[in-house]
Amino acid sequence: MNMHNISWVRQDIVAPSPRPPGQGGVMDWVRKNLFNGWVSSLLTVASVMAIAWGVMAIAPWLGNSVWHAGSLSECRQILDGAPGACWGVIRDRWTQLLFGFYPTALYWRPMLAFVLLFAALAPILFRGLPQRALWFSAVYPGLAFWLIWGGSLWLPVSIYLGFAVATGLFSIAVRSGVGLAATAAIVGAALWWLYATPALVEIATDTAPILLVPVTSRELGGFLLSIVIGVSGIALSLPLGILLALGRRSGLPLIRMLSVTFIEFIRGVPLITLLFTASLLLNYFLPPGTSFDLILRVVIMVTLFASAYMAEVIRGGLAALPRGQYEAAGALGLDYWKAQRLVILPQALKISIPGIVNSFIGLFKDTTLVMFIGLLDPIALAAAIRANTNWQGIYWELFIFIGAVFFVFCFGMSRYSQYLEQRLRTDHRWEECA
């Protein structure tokens, strides 16, 4: 036998063969996913029956809807005893559900602020946009505050100058080798806001008045209030959560102890307790005569509450990183902050994306708790609408509308998180190479 004639590598290409019958297509997917066993088949049949029962029960109610009615009694007259939804309450009160008691003639201001919100988020959330657009993202919070609450434009300008003062003091302290640079920056900003801001706003307003009609916080309500509290809490809790997570893993005992104490205390207290603290008790710790806006107090408490949970989510991402990543950052000669910014945090945040977005969604839904401290969120406004004699007895239509709007926002955040995970995914490159 001639061993040299044995070929271990095929010399010709195998001709393609047709797909085996019964594989692929809709029926094959149904068989594999819905009827691949007696348990799966039983659950599929039960689910189909439940869905069919729900559709048959709800479809006549939705199909026989009334949109043009000024009261519940008018709806019932139009329906004439037949089951049907009275969406006239949404048509009649949708502006109140969206804006609360915000002046009707000024609706353009929160609408403009909402549109500009997407312009401010675009360079942060999506690639391909010029980095110069981040300047607008930084300016947007002050602009939105001015649009919604009105007053003098110089107030948010002066607040931004306080951040500039803090940055300048921090840079000077670092370059001079003076310790406690962060403390100097915080104290400098606080002194600016307490003493320089009132005088600067007064002088600038008298010199160049740029004013909008003021709107009090009591006039804000509905989804406008939920978006203001939710977006503010989300935007502020992420950086605070990162700092707390790093502080909890710090090698400095004092910083670690303070971070652990804050996180465990906040996580051990219900959010409603913090909201009552913001509403009733916080003024007792302020100097007499101090006016501290209720919505601002709520935003602070919601931010602190969310940042404690965010810190634990991010700490989980930091703990999931292999030790070699920290050693690699040290081998590159990076100091602590450069290592965190360039190596550690990008990977930890990518790992933590599902948990971060889950916390954001929970925070946005928890904004409905402000109804217990007298703020008119959508749920509180629904109760007020139902107390009106025209709509007394209406129930499902209001809460379906409110739930649908919340679902749109929460589902949008969920879909973006999935898009971000796919965009940052790198393991598929290794799969392709393999």
Can you give the pLDDT of all 434 residues of the chain as single tens digits?
A: 455 555 567 677 878 777 666 566 777 788 888 888 888 889 999 999 999 998 888 888 888 888 888 888 888 888 888 888 889 899 888 999 999 999 999 999 999 999 999 989 888 888 777 778 788 888 999 999 999 999 889 888 999 888 888 888 878 877 776 556 667 788 888 888 888 888 888 898 888 888 899 998 889 999 999 999 999 999 999 999 999 998 898 888 888 999 999 999 999 999 998 888 888 776 676 666 666 788 888 999 999 999 999 999 999 988 888 888 888 888 888 887 788 888 888 888 888 888 999 999 999 999 999 998 888 899 999 998 988 888 888 888 899 999 999 999 999 999 998 888 888 776 554 444 44
**Token pair in block for residue 111:** 């609408």
Token pair, residue 297, equals 């107090």
Instruction: State both tokens at 159.
Output: 């607040």
* pLDDT for 430: 44
- The predicted structure's pLDDT at residue 225: 93
Residue 431: its pLDDT value, please? 45
The strand pairing partners of 100, in sequence order, are 220
What pLDDT, on a 0 to 100 scale, did the predictor assign at position 434? 46
What CA–CA distance (Å, rounded) separates 95 from 106? 12
CA distances from 23 to 26, 31, 254 (A): 9, 10, 64
For residues 90 and 397, the answer to whether their CB atoms sit within 8 Å is yes
Three-class secondary structure assignment of 320-339: HCCHHHHHHHHHCCCCHHHH
Question: What pLDDT does residue 76 have?
Answer: 87
- 153 forms bridges with which residues in the sheet? none
Q: How far apart are CA 300 and CA 311, in angstroms?
A: 16
Q: Enter the tokens of residue 323.
A: 């030790």
Cα–Cα distance for residue pair 227/276, rounded to 1 Å: 20
Judge whether 259 and 244 are in contact, CB under 8 Å: yes
Nearest to 302 by CA among 290, 312, 294, 313: 294
Spatial neighbors of 405 by CB under 8 A, at least 6 apart, are 223, 378
Distance of alpha carbon 366 from alpha carbon 146, whole angstroms:
25
Torsion of CA 335, 338, 339, 343, to 10 degrees: -160
Domains and CATH numbers, the chain: 94-102+220-424 (1.10.3720.10), 114-147 (no CATH), 151-212 (no CATH)
Answer for the pair 137, 124: CB distance below 8 angstroms, yes or no: yes
CA angle 389, 392, 395 (to 5 degrees): 155
Q: Model's pTM, two decimal places?
A: 0.84
